[in-house]
Amino acid sequence: MAAPEPQEAGKGKSFKLLGILDVGNIPCARDSILYGSFGSVVAGLGHFLLTSRIRRSCDVGVGGFIVVTLGCWFHCRYNYAKQRIQERIAREGIKNKILYESTHLDPERKIKISSN
């Protein structure tokens, strides 16, 4: 048996959903699928316990999976995008702080000079 490649040694096995969606590498995909699966079980089982209709309970379970998965996906992606924007703003602020520190363009130096 051949030894694994060095770059593959640190990685775990990736899980592809339907052969196209790599759940391990896409942010929010894993959590959305897991919550959607749990939501489908809860919705389908809850509907079955209330009505005892098997076919309709399966339909409710599939609908629950879709609704919960999409809800978790959009919520997570919104927060992910918001976090990326905040990180970019912080990175630019740090870069400007380093770039303009102790120069005549430093806003903190102008405040200190004008207060004296």
Would you say residue 109 has pLDDT above 90?
Answer: no
pLDDT tens figures, 16-49: 666 666 667 778 888 888 999 999 999 999 999 9
Contact 57, 47 (CB under 8 A): yes
Residue 76: what residue type?
A: C
Kindly indicate the confidence band of residue 9, based on its pLDDT and cuts at 50, 70 and 90: very low
Residue 107: what residue type?
A: P
The span from the CA of 66 to the CA of 72, in Å, is: 10
Indicate yes or no: pTM above 0.75. no
pLDDT score at 10: 45
pLDDT score at 11: 56
